Amino acid sequence: MNYEEGKHKFIQAWGALGSSWGINKVMAQIHALLLISPKSLTTDDIMDELKISRGNANMNIRALMDWGIVEKELIVGERKDHYRAGKDIWELARQVSRERRKREIEPILKVLGEVQDVKGKSDEVKEFKTVTSDLKDFSSKIDGALDKFTRSDKNWFFKILLKL
Amino acid sequence: MNYEEGKHKFIQAWGALGSSWGINKVMAQIHALLLISPKSLTTDDIMDELKISRGNANMNIRALMDWGIVEKELIVGERKDHYRAGKDIWELARQVSRERRKREIEPILKVLGEVQDVKGKSDEVKEFKTVTSDLKDFSSKIDGALDKFTRSDKNWFFKILLKL
DNA sequence: TTTTATTTTCAATAAATTTTGAAAATAAAG
DNA sequence: CTTTATTTTCAAAATTTATTGAAAATAAAA
């Protein structure tokens, strides 16, 4: 397989994976492109590679920076902004966990906490409280585990993972 | 908070969470509804509760059954099909892991394997191979851990989770 | 300051996804 | 078999989400 073919395949697959995990396809593709690029890229580079507009590129690059997985790199003597993605997959996973915890787990835990004080003793209310309470317990445990994960040492965690 | 209010809040939140994890909002809402319902529900029940059309209800119920998290329950003397969701959150998480592993992790692992034989010795190719290989290693580890998770005993896993 | 390069914004448009509703198919009852 | 109830399908419509492109804003150079 030649490089262009492999690159294309990887970028497409990463985009598709993003989509099924609730991440904009182009955002995931830009990330894929930066991941495999040995040097940082400009907005124009990204527009050319992915055949997308300036506005689209700009907005998705910003979203990637908001997620904390892409950053600007200042190149001396260059006017244009350059962007790069961290190459450490472990660090990437950590950052994504951190963000998703904050954006998605925390809000649902909040709701699950709030609905605990529903009033009544009917079967419906009993079932509602049991299920939402179980869900809250489970989510809290996952949340705690992810918190540990995002703070832990890489090698220690891999050891645990393999020991499972 | 009264029951109707709590139910509504939970169903909305569960739908929103589904959306940000790549799951159709209505599908997640139907699941939420079945989760908290003490008895199995018919398509008409679901249509009424969520104010959706028959076609929409039918398709999303089917999707939930394809995911293996909702099943038909035959009620003697009743013509209409009844549906119920399992109440064990641990079992739910296991089933979702199983499905996502099959639907999303396996395909990306396949691609990451395929692109390993890209030819060339340029910096670009080197970087491409390093990153995709790292990604493959990491994904395989996660895949293995999820596999263990989906096979493991509930209590054993919770103990591990808390020990972390 | 003025000019030029670059980035950002956002209304308009396009594309993708979801939803509807009615017809067709299936299944149970008479 | 015929009638009635129920489920499924799917083309069309509605809605949501993503994308464009050009104008406005910002920043650097002259």
Does position B48 have pLDDT exceeding 90, yes or no? yes
DSSP states of A62-74: HHHHHTTSEEEEP
pLDDT at B38: 96
Spell out which residues of B between 71 and 130 contact strand D, using CB within 7 Å.
79-81
Residue from A131, A151, A158 whose CB has the most chain B CBs within 10 Å, to mutate: A131
Asked whether B30 and A147 are in contact (CB, 8 A), the reply is no
Spanning CA of B40 to C1' of D4, the rounded length in angstroms is: 24
Q: Give dist(CA B81, CA A49) in Å, integer.
A: 51
Q: Nearest residue of A to residue B36 by CA position?
A: A128
Chains A, B: CB contacts under 8 A, how many? 163
Does position A145 have pLDDT exceeding 80, yes or no? yes
- Give the nearest partner residue to B128 out of A6, A119, A144, using CB atoms: A6
Does position A154 have pLDDT exceeding 90, yes or no? no
Other C-beta atoms lying within 10 Å of the C-beta of residue B116? 14
The conformation of residue A75, written as its DSSP 8-state character, comes to P
Confidence band of A11 (pLDDT split at 50, 70, 90): very high
Spanning CA of B80 to C1' of D5, the rounded length in angstroms is: 9
B158-161: long-range contacts, CB 8 A cutoff, minimum separation 24: B158/A141, B160/A164, B161/A141, B161/A142, B161/A144, B161/A145
pTM, full prediction: 0.93
Q: Is A80 exposed, middle or buried (0-12, 13-18, 19+ CB in 10 A)?
A: exposed
Q: Among A37-41, A109-113, B77-81, B109-113, where is mean pLDDT lowest?
A: B77-81
Q: Which of A11, A13, A59 is nearest to A37 (CA)?
A: A11
- Nucleotide showing the shortest C1' distance to residue B55 CA: C20
- Nucleotide showing the shortest C1' distance to residue A25 CA: D18
Does position A161 have pLDDT exceeding 90, yes or no? no
pLDDT at B162: 75
Contact positions of strand C to protein Cβ (< 7 A): 5-11, 17-23, 28-29
- Three-state secondary structure call for residue B163: helix
Q: Decide if A134 and B7 are in contact by the 8 Å CB cutoff.
A: no
A72-76: long-range contacts, CB 8 A cutoff, minimum separation 24: A73/A40, A75/A40
Q: Among A149-158, B60-69, B124-133, where is mean pLDDT lowest?
A: A149-158
Confidence band of B157 (pLDDT split at 50, 70, 90): confident
Q: Among A3-17, A124-138, B130-144, B149-163, where is mean pLDDT lowest?
A: B149-163
Average pLDDT, stretch A72-87?
94
Contacts of B15 in chain A (CB under 8 A): none
Q: Is A49 exposed, middle or buried (0-12, 13-18, 19+ CB in 10 A)?
A: middle
Q: Give dist(CA A128, CA A123) in Å, integer.
A: 8
Confidence band of B158 (pLDDT split at 50, 70, 90): confident
Contacts of A37 in chain B (CB under 8 A): 124, 127
